[in-house]
Amino acid sequence: MLTFTDQLQRTIQLHAPPKRIISLVPSQTELLYDLGLREEVVGITKFCIHPETWFQTKTRVGGTKQYHFDRIAALQPDLIIGNKEENEQVQIEQLMQQYPVWMSDIYSIEDTLQMIVQVGELVQKKKTAQTLATQTKQGLAHLPTAHGLRVAYFIWRKPYMVAAKDTFIQEMLEACGFQNCFEARTRYPEITLKELQVAAPDVVFLSSEPYPFQKKHVQEIQAVLPDTPIHLVDGEAFSWYGSRLWKSLDYLKQLILEIR
């Protein structure tokens, strides 16, 4: 019997190394691919768009909040991997009654590095995972700095919502040397354009996800902040934990150098 502790401090037991894995979180699906589990992952969500080959060929068991329990049962998983924030509690608890479910709980970069290593141990890819975590940590430490430029990071429109403290996005902004002008607020607060004016950020980021901001939306913000640079940014670079973090280092470096 193999025993593991997840990031909710729950203990799960596996009879053998997992051979039929379902991932319910896009960023963790990508991590499993990058750890080399080509055959072991049998089920993903409809939002697990990376890698493209898996998106096209793996069984989709629903979204991150609503699952097709019949599809999950048909796949006969010996391990399901989820996340506290991204997955819906009641349905996850239902799955826990039937299958081994390992949960991540991500608020910080350190949580992410820990998750990478723990998932590596869980799926018998400890060495590969440790190398990935080490390289990611070193890469983040060598990013150039934005020298405290104050930023507003938008994640949603109608209503406008921004990332604030107690979010992974906040951690990533700080790692890049930005100061979040809404860091006094919590999680993902709604704001008005008047509040944005008062906050007076040095730069505004419009994320590509979860709301897909586009060039046409820049004008709405520019109307109230005519002299402030507004950038469309890759939301995956700021919010996808796991191996995407390592892949995003060059993008983050170029973005910082462009802005500062």
What are the pLDDT digits (tens) for 66-123?
Answer: 999 999 999 999 999 999 999 999 999 999 999 999 999 999 999 999 999 999 999 9
Q: Which two tokens stand for residue 131?
A: 């190398």
CA angle 150, 155, 157 (to 5 degrees): 115
Residue 14, pLDDT score: 97
Q: What are phi and psi of 180, to 5 degrees?
A: -75, 120
What the chain holds in terms of domains, given with CATH numbers, is: 2-109 (3.40.50.1980), 150-259 (3.40.50.1980)
For residues 186-205, average pLDDT: 97
28-38: per-residue pLDDT in tens?
999 999 999 99
Please give the model's pTM, rounded to 2 decimal places: 0.94
Please say if the pLDDT value at position 258 is more than 90: yes
Looking up tokens 């996850």 gives 92
For residues 172-201, average pLDDT: 97
Please say if the pLDDT value at position 161 is more than 90: yes
For residues 6-14, average pLDDT: 97
Residue 79, pLDDT score: 98
Please say if the pLDDT value at position 200 is more than 90: yes
Residue 260, pLDDT score: 86
Please say if the pLDDT value at position 194 is more than 90: yes
Mean residue pLDDT of the chain comes to: 97
Whole-number Å distance between alpha carbons of 193 and 124: 49
Name the 3-class secondary structure at 257: helix
Calculate helix-pair angle for 126-141, 249-259, nearest 10 degrees: 10
Name the 3-class secondary structure at 23: strand
